[in-house]
A and B are shown apart, each in its own frame.
Chain A
Amino acid sequence: MSTLTDILMEIDDSINYEKEKALIDDRLLDSFAVISLIGELEETFEIQIEASQIIPDNFNSVEAMEAMIRRLQGMD
């Protein structure tokens, strides 16, 4: 999902997304970054992210976000 990395780079290009596995826990992405990210993800991947999905486990790494996107696309 190279689009996901592009979206993340748009939000903050100073982070090494391949390396970082605790984007939320280490506070690399704050709440505002997360809500910007959600808007982009919803539009790009045509998914609905509800408040219950906004937990660190879903946003800590690119892999976790990919898994969430796949899960939500499957649900649709």
Chain B
Amino acid sequence: MAYHTSIYLFLFLPVVLLLYQITPRKIRPFVLLAAGYVFFWIISGELVWYLILTTLFTHYIAIWIEGTEVKNKKGRKRILIFGILVLLGVLGYLKYYNFFAQNVNRVLDQVHPGVAITMKMIVLPIGISFYTLQAIGYMVDVYWKKIPAEKNLAKVALFLGFFPQIMEGPISMYPQTSQQLWKGDPITLENLTGGSLRIIWGLFKKMIIADRLYLVVQAVFEHYDKYNGVVIAAAAVAYTVQLYMEFSGCMDIVLGSGQILGVTLPENFRQPFASRNAAEFWRRWHITLGVWLKTYVFFPVSTSRIVKRWNHFGKTHLSKHMTKLGISAIALFPVWLGNGLWHGARWSYLFYGMYYFTILLLGIAVEPIRDQILKVCRINQDAVWWRMLQIGKTWMIIFTGELFFRANGLRAGYRMFRSIFENFTLDKLWDGTFLSFGLDKADYFIVFCGCLCVAIVGIIRERSLLDTQQMQKVCLPVRWAVYYGLIIAVILFGAYGVGYQQVDLIYAGF
């Protein structure tokens, strides 16, 4: 029951909203809690125990940390480390056991042929990567005394098991959502229309654009040995657009569902393709994962003893720039290793993390030279041409990263990347090759128009010309024209029915 399916949109969500609205205020949070567990159970069955046990464990660890004397710093730290290790241990076992066994077996095969670690059939509970990070964040916040440990178990349970967030996040922090989830405010007409509009907008991105591009992506990435040059390059672009439309579209449905219930969830995307460099891209793409890694990995490492020692060493032996570069390397490495590993047990995901680690570090390394060149050449950094050039460069970085991310393994990614430079002619774009992927000219035109709509909305948001709240104030005929226009577009141009297949949410697999 993914968020874009009719069972969620026309059955599950309306039933939950109805039950929520007709029950007394005090009972409403429990309706949401029950809905979360039903949602989880429908997708993962008895694996719902993982969520229940994680909730109980997190709740009592937080209370244990708070109950330990403030002076007993080591004791508090030990409890926190124990809590984190258990949660990461469960996640690691479920997610990486087979990957570990597979790679160990490769080595064993060389050293002791016939000896091997047994592979296991492991089914991942839905959303484990998302709720585990939320649980760890909550425990750390209690340890840091940013928030008190929550005494009400149901509140922690709802924080970890709010149904719109279960599958794909956003990864929220306890203070961001806990109070809102527990308020039990009635559904207002304003929230209902605003949230519904956001849901339809998400469906527009997912069903009109992403699900069409899926066919191109699938055809090229699964048979990459048949193609080269511009076809591979176009497939990398198509995958990036598909991923964005799908993930951000799903987030629109998630945030819209939350909005109807009066819960403002944190945004996960902010016009990422307007970024001028890779660092900015990651402040705009999958924002909540970036914020989580920054808060709970980057800053703790930045203030660790090893960084302080390096800082001290740098001051006496190195230049300021080299000191900064060293600190950045130490602090960024675990962040990007974590980012790669979080996505799953594949070498290509690890490569993806290390790819961005290298690019960000290179960006810092060449900073003085770049500044010097800009100064000598008297380049105005705010000039439109310069900004376009920077955005274009960032796009190349993004497309290359996503090519490796989607490829069937690291080797396939490398071969695909290499083959872009073989026989690169633009003729392939219009010689009919792209019409053999299951899309006709009308489909490509619809994708183009859809992307144009998303880009225009992106520009409006980027320039703060109109936000969702202001949309409510736009005159009624215009507002309803937008509502009906979007609904009709999804019905008429959505990729469903004969000739299309239901496409699973990519990030639900993480």
Q: A-side interface residues toward B, CB under 8 Å?
A: 27, 30-32, 35-36, 38-39, 42-43, 49-52, 54-55
Contact = CB atoms under 8 A, between A and B. Distances in A.
A31 B327 contact: no
A31 B331 CA distance: 11
Interface of A is mostly: helix
A51 B327 contact: no
A52 B327 contact: no
B393 interface: no
Contact of A35 (B295, B315, B331): B331
A27 B303 CA distance: 20
A30 B364 CA distance: 13
Contacts of A32: 324, 328, 364
B364 A51 contact: no
B contact patch SS: helix
A51 B144 contact: yes
Interface string B133-151: 0000000000011100000
Contacts, number: 43
Contact of B303 (A31, A43, A49): A49
A61 B27 CA distance: 43
14 contacts: A31-B299, A32-B328, A35-B302, A35-B303, A35-B307, A35-B331, A39-B307, A39-B327, A42-B308, A50-B303, A51-B295, A51-B302, A51-B303, A55-B146
B149 to A, nearest CB: 15
B144 A38 contact: no
Given A35-B302, A42-B308, A52 B328 contact: no
Contacts of B308: 39, 42
A74 B307 CA distance: 25
A49 B144 CA distance: 12
Interface string B277-317: 00100010000000000110011101100011001100100
8 tightest A-B CB contacts, nearest first: A52-B144, A51-B300, A35-B302, A51-B299, A39-B311, A54-B299, A51-B303, A50-B303
B271 to A, nearest CB: 14
Contacts of B283: 27
A36 B146 contact: no
Contact of A36 (B295, B298, B327): B327
Contacts of B312: 43
Interface in B322-372: 324, 327-328, 331, 364
Contacts of B327: 35-36, 39
Nearest to B328: A32
A54 B303 contact: yes
Nearest to B297: A51
Contacts of A36: 324, 327
Nearest to A27: B283
A10 to B, nearest CB: 9
B303 A38 contact: yes
Nearest to B296: A51
Contacts of B299: 31, 35, 51, 54
B471 to A, nearest CB: 24
Nearest to A40: B311
